[in-house]
């Protein structure tokens, strides 16, 4: 437990880290060179990475990160997901659509809607087919393809682009925002504008006892668990993160270890190739340290981030948080259906 004097020294230390790190970050927002789209570390579960990487390059309208974003939004990577509308499997095909557009992706002589080795190639193939229908429509070809996926190619052709349907416009925005989370960054990731205030919130909770499932509410004595703390810290600056740590990982792009800035979320996983196995999250403050709510019996404190289970980081964006929140809700609904 950190004493009063220790807290004062540590807060001063953090203030210096934040100012120094952001001063050094002035040149980061410029971006980097363009290149082919790869997948961010562990964002796609290991068993599906080769399929997504291969079939995500099937045509120019899609890429691996965009295909991954669609699959995450549809099912949350659950191969057994079934929606109330009878959409099935990891790609959430309706049986009627599957009958026409399903492909035998693994070459075993059958098209199985529940088998990701067929469903993922089928999703990519269907995307590319839709893109071919609207290839002469003005605007971004990927946006028009996604709009066709949601509203039908006829509507995209009729309106000369994304149709004026709120559901369709939101769908396109969600997938394109999630795409940034699943893509391996090319160049440096732009700094967050809200990070310092999120850190300030977390600093005020230092010394608070940990509570499993804690959201900081009055009936819980203002206590938190790890993802409850990071969620509350970003809610304090108007950004709504999902409740679960492995969903929070998808709330923005992923800076590398040597590009971390204060305010980045840092994650720890039991499987370093799979973000769905993340078991802990903290709020990076600089100098190799984070503020986190570690475990039952401990208090919110400063911890070093460098450990064998360090998985990676996310630089939270408002669009990314909104997108992953919508996707997590949709995938949860599909997974809960009988």
pLDDT in tens, 95-137: 999 999 999 999 999 999 999 999 999 999 999 999 999 999 9
Between 276 and 231, residue with greater pLDDT:
231
The pLDDT of 60-81, averaged and rounded, is: 95
> How far is Cα 10 from Cα 207, in angstroms, rounded to an integer?
12
pLDDT of residue 328: 61
pLDDT confidence bin for 30, thresholds 50/70/90: very low
E strands along 272-315, which residues?
278-286, 289-292, 301-304, 310-314
C-alpha closest to that of 197 among 234, 229, 230, 251: 234
Look at 11-25, 215-229, 250-264, 283-297 and tell me which has the smallest mean pLDDT: 11-25
pLDDT of residue 266: 98
> How far is Cα 85 from Cα 106, in angstroms, rounded to an integer?
27
Token look-up 């399929």 returns 51
The pLDDT of 278-303, averaged and rounded, is: 96
pLDDT confidence bin for 211, thresholds 50/70/90: very high
* pTM score, whole prediction: 0.76
The pLDDT of 75-90, averaged and rounded, is: 94
pLDDT of residue 280: 97
The pLDDT of 81-92, averaged and rounded, is: 95
Between 245 and 24, residue with greater pLDDT:
245
> How far is Cα 91 from Cα 72, in angstroms, rounded to an integer?
9
pLDDT of residue 296: 95
Q: What is the DSSP string of 174-214?
A: HHHHHHHHHBPPSSPPPPPSSHHHHHHHHHTTTTPBB-TT-
Look at 23-32, 221-230, 248-257 and tell me which has the smallest mean pLDDT: 23-32
- Report pLDDT digits (tens) over 156-168: 999 999 999 999 9
> How far is Cα 27 from Cα 201, in angstroms, rounded to an integer?
27
* Average pLDDT taken over every residue of the chain: 87
State the helix-helix crossing angle for 64-75 and 318-336, rounded to 10 degrees: 50
pLDDT of residue 100: 95
Percent of the chain with pLDDT over 70: 86
CA 131 to chain centre: 25
pLDDT confidence bin for 13, thresholds 50/70/90: very low
The pLDDT of 289-303, averaged and rounded, is: 96
Indicate left, alpha or beta for 317 from its phi (over 0: left) and psi (-120 to 50: alpha): beta
What percentage of the chain's residues is helix, strand, coil (to nearest 5)? 45, 10, 40
- Report pLDDT digits (tens) over 188-201: 777 777 788 999 99
Indicate whether 186 pLDDT > 90. no
Look at 21-30, 248-257, 275-284, 300-309 and tell me which has the smallest mean pLDDT: 21-30
> How far is Cα 133 from Cα 154, in angstroms, rounded to an integer?
9
């Amino acid at each position: 437990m950190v004493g009063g004097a220790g807290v004062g020294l540590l807060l001063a230390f953090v203030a210096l880290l934040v100012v120094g790190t952001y001063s050094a970050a002035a040149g980061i927002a410029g971006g980097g060179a363009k290149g082919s789209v790869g997948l961010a570390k562990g964002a796609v579960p290991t068993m599906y990475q080769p399929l997504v990487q291969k079939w995500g390059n099937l045509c120019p309208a899609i890429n691996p990160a965009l295909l991954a974003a669609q699959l995450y939004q549809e099912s949350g990577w659950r191969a057994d997901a079934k929606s109330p509308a009878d959409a099935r499997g990891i790609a959430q095909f309706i049986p009627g659509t599957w009958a026409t557009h399903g492909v035998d992706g693994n070459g075993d002589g059958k098209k199985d809607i529940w088998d990701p080795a067929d469903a993922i190639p089928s999703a990519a193939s269907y995307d590319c087919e839709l893109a071919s229908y609207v290839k002469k429509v003005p605007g971004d070809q990927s946006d028009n393809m996604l709009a066709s996926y949601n509203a039908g190619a006829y509507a995209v052709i009729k309106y000369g682009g994304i149709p004026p349907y709120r559901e369709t416009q939101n769908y396109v925005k969600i997938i394109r925002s999630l795409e940034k989370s699943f893509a391996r960054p090319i160049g440096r990731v732009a700094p967050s504008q809200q990070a310092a205030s999120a850190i300030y919130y977390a600093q005020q909770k230092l010394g608070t006892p940990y509570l499993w499932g804690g959201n900081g509410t009055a009936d819980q004595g203002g206590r938190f668990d790890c993802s409850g703390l990071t969620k509350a810290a970003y809610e304090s600056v108007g950004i709504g993160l999902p409740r679960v740590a492995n969903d929070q990982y998808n709330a923005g792009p992923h800076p590398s270890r040597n590009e971390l800035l204060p305010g980045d979320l840092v994650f720890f996983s039991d499987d370093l190739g799979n973000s769905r196995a993340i078991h802990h999250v903290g709020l990076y403050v600089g100098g190799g340290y984070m503020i986190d709510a570690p475990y039952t019996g401990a208090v919110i404190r400063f911890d070093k981030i460098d450990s064998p289970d360090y998985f990676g980081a996310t630089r939270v964006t408002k669009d990314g948080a909104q997108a992953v929140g919508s996707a997590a809700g949709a995938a949860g609904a599909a997974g809960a259906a009988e």
